[in-house]
């Protein structure tokens, strides 16, 4: 079956699938700005609260109806995906606005921008809308899912904003947390009489505004404080997404030709940990050491994925409610099978706190015969967890396991025995 022809603005089509994937697709060529997908669940044209906004810093709606599943790069095409379970959309929600925001430029610079709606069951394309007339806009409503006489439809919209994701979000009723600006020092006023005791107030905390900022770590700026980004509590997901490049160049055409390029590449996301009471250990699929989220080590490996897909991939969860018990965590990845090294691999690491800004970074190209890569080091400093981008490929000595190699490189000091999964 061929691709569906692009819709005109204002056109609509019925959506009979119960669960759909909304894909925001663009070309990655030419140094274009990054584009992020988002969704707003509306009642009478507005969100009911900030919780009705689903995007990179708030990836799941409480109802389970909408989830932001992240980006995937295939060749020179980047796809950012939202999953919508229409059966779980609350009855009062009339529309789900599907939008994109440009980070580092305007949509006039973005090539091949379009939105696709596909049936999750089988992948059939239901609708497609191509944006061809963008100029200075930095946010776009590309389409919307809406109810009509008890059924769902998709409408192509194509409405732009030159005020970015913040302008789009506030237009639909979202309260946005604005970055604090430095103020001039103030002179202390004269001492005032002691105030009369005020009546007690409710201890319930007011809802926190949505943070739109995200952090990308680089070689030049490799660290970030989670507290300064708002990531002080709740669960933080560490996600590894990878793709195999189409053509492998290798190391000078020698060792590279000997490296296997199996589609069944199995990478394992792992974490070395050290608690403040001195206990040390590892969380990994090998040996079924999946950890625990609500008791030591407060780190849990969600599963063992062999595809690298953004919809699953490898995921660790860290319980930031117990960050005072965590001294340091080293997140690393090993090649379990399917290849002899990380060569020809493109990988992205995302740390997504339940509260606060997402932290992400890409791995550099691997130019050594490495089977283990240190991804990120989290250390406790003054009660806060600081994340450092490592992106460090290590080459195990003959007969030395990847786990022992990363232990030795970071001075963890553990005793290792052979294991399997």
pLDDT digits (tens, 9 = 90+) for 365-381: 888 989 899 999 999 88
Structural tokens at position 74: 């295939």
Tell me the pLDDT tens digit for each residue of 69-90.
878 777 788 899 999 999 999 9
The reported pLDDT for the residue numbered 294 is 93
pLDDT class of 39 with cuts at 50, 70, 90: very high
Average pLDDT over every residue of 336-362: 80
**Is pLDDT larger for residue 187 or for residue 418?**
418
CB 7 within 8 A of CB 128: yes
pLDDT class of 225 with cuts at 50, 70, 90: confident
Q: How far apart are CA 391 and CA 403, in angstroms?
A: 16
The reported pLDDT for the residue numbered 271 is 96
The reported pLDDT for the residue numbered 395 is 94
The reported pLDDT for the residue numbered 248 is 36
Q: Is the pLDDT of residue 266 over 50?
A: yes
Contacts of residue 196, defined as CB under 8 A and 6 or more positions apart, other chains included, come to none
Q: Is the pLDDT of residue 270 over 70?
A: yes
Structural tokens at position 337: 């099978």
**Is pLDDT larger for residue 64 or for residue 358?**
64
Pairing of strands 372-381, 326-337: antiparallel
What percent of the chain lies above the pLDDT cut of 90? 46
Lookup result for tokens 């997504």: 352
Average pLDDT over every residue of 328-348: 82
pLDDT class of 203 with cuts at 50, 70, 90: very low
Q: Is the pLDDT of residue 163 over 90?
A: no
The reported pLDDT for the residue numbered 94 is 96
CB 70 within 8 A of CB 310: yes
Q: Is the pLDDT of residue 162 over 80?
A: yes
pLDDT class of 280 with cuts at 50, 70, 90: very high
How many helices (H) and strands (E) are present in the chain, helices listed first? 3, 24
Closest CA to 239 of 348, 95, 98: 348
> SS3 for 78?
strand
Mean pLDDT across the chain: 82
Closest CA to 255 of 367, 178, 164: 367
Burial class (CB in 10 A: 0-12, 13-18, 19+), 403: buried
Residue 249: CB atoms within 10 Å: 13
Residue 106 carries which DSSP code?
-
Residue 289 carries which DSSP code?
B
Closest CA to 77 of 110, 38, 100, 101: 110
pTM, two decimal places:
0.59
Burial class (CB in 10 A: 0-12, 13-18, 19+), 183: exposed
The reported pLDDT for the residue numbered 247 is 40
The reported pLDDT for the residue numbered 4 is 75
């Amino acid at each position: 079956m061929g691709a569906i022809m692009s819709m005109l603005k204002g056109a609509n089509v019925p959506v009979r699938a119960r669960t759909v994937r909304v894909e925001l697709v663009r070309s990655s060529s030419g140094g274009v700005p990054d584009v992020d997908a988002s969704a707003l669940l509306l009642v009478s044209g507005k969100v009911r609260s900030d919780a009705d906004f689903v995007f990179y810093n708030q990836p799941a709606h409480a109802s389970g109806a909408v989830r932001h599943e992240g980006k995937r790069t295939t060749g020179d095409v980047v796809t950012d995906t939202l999953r919508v379970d229409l059966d779980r959309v609350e009855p009062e929600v009339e529309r789900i606005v599907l939008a994109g925001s440009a980070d580092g430029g305007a949509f006039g610079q973005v090539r091949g921008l379009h939105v696709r709606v596909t049936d999750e069951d089988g992948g059939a394309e239901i609708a497609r809308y191509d944006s061809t007339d963008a100029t200075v806009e930095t946010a776009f409503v590309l389409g919307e899912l809406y109810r009509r006489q008890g059924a769902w439809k998709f409408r192509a919209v194509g409405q732009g904003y030159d005020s970015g994701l913040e302008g789009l979000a506030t237009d639909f009723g979202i309260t946005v947390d604005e970055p604090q600006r430095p103020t001039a020092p103030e002179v202390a006023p004269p001492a005032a009489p002691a105030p009369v005791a005020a009546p007690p107030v409710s201890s319930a905390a007011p809802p926190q505004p949505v943070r739109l900022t995200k952090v990308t770590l680089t070689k030049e700026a490799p660290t970030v404080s989670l507290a300064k980004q708002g990531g002080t509590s709740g669960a933080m997901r560490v996600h590894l997404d990878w793709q195999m490049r189409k053509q492998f160049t290798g190391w000078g055409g020698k060792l590279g030709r000997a490296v296997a390029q199996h589609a069944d590449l199995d990478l394992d996301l792992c974490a070395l940990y050290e608690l403040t009471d001195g206990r040390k250990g590892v969380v990994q699929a090998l040996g079924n050491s999946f950890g625990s989220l609500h008791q030591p080590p407060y780190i849990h490996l969600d599963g063992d994925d062999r595809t690298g897909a953004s919809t699953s991939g490898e995921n660790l969860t860290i319980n930031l409610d117990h960050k005072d018990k965590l001294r340091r965590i080293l997140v690393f990845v090993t090649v379990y099978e399917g290849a002899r090294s990380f060569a020809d691999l493109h990988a992205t690491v995302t740390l997504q706190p339940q509260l606060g800004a997402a932290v992400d970074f890409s791995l550099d190209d691997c130019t050594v015969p490495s089977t283990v890569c240190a991804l990120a080091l989290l250390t406790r400093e003054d009660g806060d967890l600081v994340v450092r981008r490592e992106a460090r490929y290590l080459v195990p000595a003959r007969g030395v396991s990847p786990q022992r190699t990363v232990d030795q490189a970071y001075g963890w000091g553990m005793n290792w025995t052979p294991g399997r999964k």
